[in-house]
Structure 1
Amino acid sequence: MKYYTLLILFIAGGWLARAQEPLSLSDAIAIGLDKNYDIRIEKRNVDVATNNNSWGEAGILPSISLDLQSQNSIRNQQSDNQFFGGQLFPGFELNDQRAYALTPSLQVSWLIFQGNKAIISKRRLDQLQAESMQNADVVVSNTLQAIILAYYMAALEKERLDAFEKQLALSRDRYDYTNTKYEMGSAVTTDLLLEENNYLTDSANYINQMLTYHNAIRALNVLLVSDDINKDYTLTDDLKLEEYDYQYEDLEAVMLSENVDLKKIYISQSILETQVRQSRADLFPTVRLNGGYNWNRSVSDLTSATYIGPNPDYENPPEPLVSKSGTYFANFTLSFNLFNGGKVNRAIRNSIVQEDIGNLRIDQLETSLKRSLSEAYERYQIRKQLYGINALNERSAATNLSISQEKFKGGTINSFDYRVVQNNHLAATNQKLQALYNLIDSKVELMRLTGGLISENGSVSDQ
């Protein structure tokens, strides 16, 4: 038995020997909002949508380009004998003719009017940015719910571990007491074996519960993106009862105005409405301005050219011939789509259909959320009653355990009966803790449905 005791102490001490820092629920939420992978990914998506939300992306600004073209050539020219007007003109060769040209140009292209499509596009970019931020709020809300429940799950398993530890301590004391009586000859072997069996059973239960607690801590560390997945904490916020007198009508009104999923689909619907306006803008003509300036410098160099021909007096120009020119231009283009197979009208009709589908999805989501809220509200009320029942049961079991402990020491009840009372108290304690966690879970679910997690902890736009 000493070996098993030392083994249990070694297993428990190995984990408890780790440095434990205090961690409150608010600290866990702050760490999760800063480090959680899903939240960080959505924040980067918001950055992309914010970066795209500009007038330049909408197409209202002109495009300006600067070009520089250089042309260089060497030409060898040969002319054969030709008859013209009844006379023979002898041919000639003029080789190594060199030409250079440099042409910089500045061009401006500006779509001046297209049925206000650029303004509509900018509005759509605003909506896309808002939609991206609302998507992030949905992820934040879900992650907050996961962090809160993971924190309280770890707290639940820690309190269960404490309950199993108390059970183990009672079994150890009872075994030591029975062993002393056995050595003095006042207890039989069956009594000692019974207490030894109880002690070993409670030892196994304690070790299994320790594993469950460790796994709960690891799950919390995953959400907090801890560098050490096995990092342990002193959880400063215990499981505690905070009863709220919720009214269903008030919850429903808040949900319909603050639920993050509804806010997201409302923004998505506004994007569909903007898409209808954008499709109709294609019915209007377009006016485009193209302007710019071209400058050209050309050099024709015949100073090194070689001449072969009938003219003995030919001489190359003493210097290269230089030509310069500059051209300004500004042109307007009016374009009106008379017919393109009905593509514009089909696009308009399709966008209207998509808008109608969006309205149906809003109605569908509202109906689904009302059902979820009704279920969550009833679940909260039932779990509140169940917690009250389990709390009374645990209190009665604790009183019974205290009385039975005195009776066992006085010899008025046997080990079997006392063990039953002890197990009943442990079961009642675990049921009370589970009922309390279930009540907290229902409360957090109500907060998520009504947007309370975001309003209390901040949205992505607030960070």
Structure 2
Amino acid sequence: MKTRILYTIVLFLGVIGTQAQTVPDSSEQLTLQKAIEIAMVNNYDIKIASADRQKAKNNNSIGNAGLLPSVSINGGADYSSSDTEMEINNGGNTSIIEADGAVSTNYNAAARVDYTLFDGFGNIYTYKKLKSSDNLQETIFRQQTETTIVQVAEQYYQVCRAQQNLHLAQESMRISRERYQKAMDQKAYGQANQLDVLNAEVDMNNDSTTVLQTEQTFIQSIKDLNLVLGVPIQNVYEVDNSIDYRDDFKADVVIADALMNNASLSAQQQQEKISNLDVKITDANKYPTLSAYGQYSYNRTDNDAGQLLYNQTQGPKVGVSLNFNVFNGRQQRTKEKNARLDYISQQERTMQVKSQVERDASNAYTDYIYKRRIVDLQESSLEQARLNFEQTQEMFQLGRVTSIEFRTAQQNLLNVAAQYNDAQYTAKVAEFYLLQLTGKLIQ
């Protein structure tokens, strides 16, 4: 089973996730690779992270940063009808003008362009912040993708464990049923007593209970996996329980890769960069803002009453404006201090995350190595338990060991096999976690 997933495929699946949904095929075994592909399309957290990533991309533009001019067009028309009476003084002579229902109309239109020539480079820093926020959201999306892949692996191997334990319980049930049938046959021929039959029946019933319990666990684990995959909860299928491990991990390389590629550390470093840009944006506010504008306007007024029957103007207009905040109650100074304190906090946070990642990578490597050793030990124990059971079974057939000794060997084999399964899948999940910490899970 390959644990490295091509990032371009993940991104593509994330894009089409809102448009299609895939489900496991119940007619064939589900592989981990297929489960991850399904989750990349259907998982709810992936869809949410993909939407947030797209919003950051939409915001990342020079227009959003104020580096493009703004263009506006406006126009209007007014109409009025009124009774008018005017007294006009003309060289000492007065005359009265009266008009009933005099109409007055006004038309105006203007196109204006505004552009900020200089604002202390605040718009440039804002654009850099938007790009950094876009990169940060991309990293957060990768982080969520990695988290989802590990969740899928954890739940997938829970299903593998439950499926294997169910097969073991069914096999144990088969052995107990054969033993019970043999005891019944021997009793019929006088070779066994009622106590042997009762013991065999009790053990068979206990195994039946175990089968039901493990089957319930298997079904519940599939539902948990379905939730992570984002598919109908009631889907039932079998999984491919084949497993292999990577043996190319080295302690120093693991730590170096984690410090270089870990998604959490990368996100924090990008957040620190954004905080530094916030300082520069805040500092830019103490510089004057120089703006320019250009406008072309048209205005006409028509009157039925009065000496001025109409008035019309049109033409261009340009200008510049300078705005400088001399004093605003020291608000600017306070914002600058707080921005710098936020930047210092982010620097400290980066150092903290870096130390945590280094520790987690070291612990994850150690955890993986020890879990692999446990797998080897459990494999050896399983071989010994299987050999012991086979020999005990042969001797039981010959009547040289008691049913209690046979049952003990049977239970011992079942327990060791279950422990071996647990060790295998726990080690594989530890491998996924180690790959996530080192940033090697998605490449």
Letter in 2 for 1:261: S
Is 1:343 the counterpart of 2:331 in the alignment? yes
CA distance in 1 between counterparts of 2:422 and 2:32 reads 19
CA distance in 2 between counterparts of 1:356 and 1:90 reads 80
CA distance in 2 between counterparts of 1:48 and 1:380 reads 38
Is 1:71 the counterpart of 2:75 in the alignment? no
Is 1:61 the counterpart of 2:68 in the alignment? yes
Equivalent residues in 2 for 1:372-391, closer than 5 Å? 372-391=360-379
Is 1:103 the counterpart of 2:108 in the alignment? yes
Equivalent residues in 2 for 1:361-372, closer than 5 Å? 361-372=349-360
CA distance in 2 between counterparts of 1:373 and 1:133 reads 23
Aligned residue number for residue 20 of structure 2: none
Aligned residue number for residue 115 of structure 1: 120
Is 1:326 the counterpart of 2:329 in the alignment? no
Kept in 2: contact 1:272–1:358 (CA 8 A):
yes
Kept in 2: contact 1:164–1:206 (CA 8 A):
yes
Aligned residue number for residue 125 of structure 1: 130
Equivalent residues in 2 for 1:54-453, closer than 5 Å? 54-78=61-85, 93-227=98-232, 229-236=233-240, 238-302=241-305, 321-453=309-441
Kept in 2: contact 1:156–1:239 (CA 8 A):
no
CA distance in 2 between counterparts of 1:381 and 1:183 reads 56
Consecutive unaligned residues of structure 1, counting only runs of 5 or more, are 1-17, 303-315, 456-463
After superposition, the Cα gap between the structure-2 partners of 1:243 and 1:324, relative to the gap in structure 1 and judged at 3 Å, is closer
Aligned residue number for residue 47 of structure 2: 40
CA distance in 2 between counterparts of 1:79 and 1:287 reads 48
Letter in 2 for 1:424: N
| CA deviation vs aligned residue, 1:236-275 (integer Å, no higher than 9, x gap) | 3x24342525321111000000100011111111101111
Consecutive unaligned residues of structure 2, counting only runs of 5 or more, are 1-24
After superposition, the Cα gap between the structure-2 partners of 1:380 and 1:19, relative to the gap in structure 1 and judged at 3 Å, is closer
| CA deviation vs aligned residue, 1:175-223 (integer Å, no higher than 9, x gap) | 1111111122221111111100000000000111011111111111111
Kept in 1: contact 2:125–2:277 (CA 8 A):
yes
CA distance in 1 between counterparts of 2:432 and 2:132 reads 30
Identical amino acids, percent of aligned pairs: 25
Residue 69 of structure 1 and its aligned partner are, at CA, apart by 1.2
Kept in 2: contact 1:297–1:325 (CA 8 A):
yes
Kept in 2: contact 1:64–1:109 (CA 8 A):
yes
CA distance in 1 between counterparts of 2:430 and 2:95 reads 107
Residue 142 of structure 1 and its aligned partner are, at CA, apart by 0.6
Classify the secondary structure of the residue corresponding to 2:291: strand
Letter in 1 for 2:316: Y
CA distance in 2 between counterparts of 1:127 and 1:240 reads 40
Residue 92 of structure 1 and its aligned partner are, at CA, apart by 6.1
Letter in 2 for 1:412: R
Structure number, greater radius of gyration? 1
Aligned residues: 418
Kept in 2: contact 1:21–1:232 (CA 8 A):
no
CA distance in 2 between counterparts of 1:339 and 1:376 reads 55
Kept in 2: contact 1:52–1:125 (CA 8 A):
yes
CA distance in 1 between counterparts of 2:353 and 2:87 reads 87
After superposition, the Cα gap between the structure-2 partners of 1:81 and 1:111, relative to the gap in structure 1 and judged at 3 Å, is closer
Kept in 2: contact 1:384–1:439 (CA 8 A):
yes
CA distance in 1 between counterparts of 2:75 and 2:246 reads 76
CA distance in 2 between counterparts of 1:447 and 1:90 reads 98
Kept in 2: contact 1:293–1:328 (CA 8 A):
yes
Classify the secondary structure of the residue corresponding to 2:238: strand
Classify the secondary structure of the residue corresponding to 1:57: coil
| CA deviation vs aligned residue, 1:83-134 (integer Å, no higher than 9, x gap) | x98x9x6866433221111111112221111111111111110011111111
Kept in 1: contact 2:150–2:433 (CA 8 A):
yes
Task: Output the TM-score relative to the length of structure 1.
Answer: 0.86
Kept in 1: contact 2:254–2:362 (CA 8 A):
no
CA distance in 1 between counterparts of 2:282 and 2:49 reads 30
CA distance in 2 between counterparts of 1:297 and 1:286 reads 34
| CA deviation vs aligned residue, 1:131-153 (integer Å, no higher than 9, x gap) | 11111111111100011121122
| CA deviation vs aligned residue, 1:342-389 (integer Å, no higher than 9, x gap) | 222222221111111011001111111222222222222222222222
CA distance in 2 between counterparts of 1:81 and 1:290 reads 42
Classify the secondary structure of the residue corresponding to 2:328: coil
Aligned residue number for residue 6 of structure 1: none
CA distance in 2 between counterparts of 1:132 and 1:245 reads 31
Task: Output the TM-score relative to the length of structure 2.
Answer: 0.89
Classify the secondary structure of the residue corresponding to 2:64: helix
Residue 232 of structure 1 and its aligned partner are, at CA, apart by 2.5
Kept in 2: contact 1:239–1:437 (CA 8 A):
no
Letter in 2 for 1:125: L
CA distance in 1 between counterparts of 2:180 and 2:246 reads 42
